[in-house]
Structure 1
Amino acid sequence: MTKKYYDSCECIWIEEKNTDGSENENFEPSIKGKLKSALQMPNIMVLAGSGTSLGGIVKGPRMWDLWISCTTDDMKKISEDCFNECKYDDKQDHNQNIEVCLSHCEAYLQVGEVKEKTEIFINKCKDIILNKCRFISDKEIQLSGHKEFIRKLARRKSKDPRVKLFTTNYDTCFEDAAGLLGITVIDGFSFSMPRIYDARFFDMDIVRRNTTSSSTNIHYLEGVYHLYKLHGSTNWSRDATSSYIIKQVENVKAEDSCMIFPAKGKYQQSYIQPHLELIARFSQSLREPNTCLIIAGFGFNDDHLSEPILSAILSNPHLKVIIVSTSIENDFDATPPKTSKYWKIFKKIADDRKNDEIIFINCDFQQFSSLIPDLTALSPAENLHENMKKLFGGTHA
């Protein structure tokens, strides 16, 4: 895949290779310079969508993969019985989508008189989706991009605000990658066993205390970051006796899972705890001054997340946004329902402002991870050097 980025200042695409196939020597310094500038913002937050778990060596399930798994082989007869019962036309191309299908089925449960086969289908689908999202078999190999991404973002001064990573993914890629690196994740769960969810843990931090000197001589632990799983996780389970108690356990069953499964009802379900708390913290972080927001592998199909982002872009004057996708040009040109309406909105804002507040990068997540500069904070001398280069028209390193 060709790496490229859209320069919102000049409204042109900067490509990794020249038209003759040779390497564009200005590509890496140019994009890394822009990323380095954006990522020096005090507050860094990330929104990671399903694209961060797709393609290459990661091999997470695509929406089409889930549709096929839920309608063929052992599920063929179950799905056909359901569609006959709830009057779902799966022969239409736009209906061959697991999210559209489950939305129709769940709506039918609210009004249908006979719904036994529809309930069976929905429960079977949830089991399949849960199992398909447990796809990690070789953490060292499959999570190399996630490891590089986390390692680089973690290299900030420990006194800086913690990086906040929000994800809609159910899988455990980011927390597993952090585990491989020995990096501590604050994810809203207790550090004791069993791990129980309590949003107050997001307001706590980890420090290193020097036992040989004064008790006030403490330092924040390096590399810690916050992880917010907006739609739940494959290892989140609601307690059978108290539904408000959420634990991290292995081999969660679909009926006990604390996940927002693909359906248009995601918006309504996001107002149920713990998702309500996570969405609230997402919206609050977008309003923080001097924030850099990285959006990777997210298609803007979830209005309950896209609308707060749009609102922040329009109202937060100190917000920088980096949008990473493998199909940005197509998303700009296509029209709904083939793509989200927000792509054209964000492109128009970038074109109108003609600055570096919004940067579009056309590459996959692993490629983007390699482009991120190490976030070691610049020393005063380095800051002076960078400012002198800008003043006299030099290029970014």
Structure 2
Amino acid sequence: MSSIRPWRDIERRKSRQIMVGNVPVGGDAPITVQTMTNTLTSDAKATIDQIRRCEDAGADLIRVSCPDVESTAAFREIARAAQVPLIADIHFHYKRALEAADAGAACLRINPGNIGSHDRVAEVVRAAKANGCAIRIGVNAGSLEKDLLEKYGEPCPEALVESALDHIKLLQDHDFHEYKVAVKASDVFLAVAAYQGLADAVDCPLHLGITEAGGLIGGTVKSSIGMGMLLWSGIGDTLRVSLSAEPEEEVRVGFEMLKALGLRTRGVRVVSCPSCARQGFDVIRTVEALEERLQHIKTPISLSVLGCVVNGPGEARETDIGLTGGGNGKHMVYLSGVTDHVIQSETMLDHIVSLVEAKAAEMEAAAQEQAVAAE
């Protein structure tokens, strides 16, 4: 059987690359995962603590709202403490954009159209250029310009794309090209169609999102359907999963989405069965515990957890570490697809965690050796 699997190939849309701080976005760079803090930005300590949790979850970029002077005053301390580039979220008040750029923002999230006059847009662009900031144009179906709503009658893909193109022109008129664009909507079909239309019209990086997606479960499903369709067709250079949940959960869902499509790998990818009466151990509780205890693993590792021998051996052969349920409290462990040893139920959980940690350490050491050898 041929090892070439063309039905798995995703050919990414060719976009030009920009830099958000030290993180490349677009081109052939990895698709970045973002989230947004929900603490009061004026409370620097609380915001930094939340940023740290998001960084631990793997966030590449983090957005921080700057609605008032107190927020931009605290932003400098927050930006110094952050280990990833920060995006300052600005609405209406152009001076907040100027302050955030001076305070260390790597990117300004604005709608150029609601910043004010052309002179104010020009000031924001000058501040962005002076501080090496990128700009993210954020178009949202819920806040489209009045003239576009009058023209089209309702939010529609054409209206979102026209709004984005108008905002892009405002930046280009000031010779600014370090921008990325989002055309978000809560309606999955509207968002997907708008992104498809924009992808054909521009060459800049696109930031994906299904806005106001909902809670952890509903929002994950909705975002996965919408962004999954776009990512599968090659559209998208950076993303945020908008959930009514803790920001670090958005990061984890984002990475799971990319892992499922083979677009990016980070941490443990768990292959597990839904469980049934054949299971030799409690698969649901075991997977819950493993996912919780293995969150600290950053090295890409595949782990299969199957309750019985119907599909267990076949799945285990495809993963780095595999566990298949057996009878009498004895279960088979597979290493690199090969049956290796038997483990008892009472020590199973700790044993699998230790195997994954050891495998991760081994892979990290090998990668370091290769890096040293290549120098």
Q: TM-score, normalised by structure 2?
A: 0.26
Q: TM-score, normalised by structure 1?
A: 0.25
Query: 1 or 2 for the larger relative contact order (CA 8 Å, sep ≥6)?
Result: 1
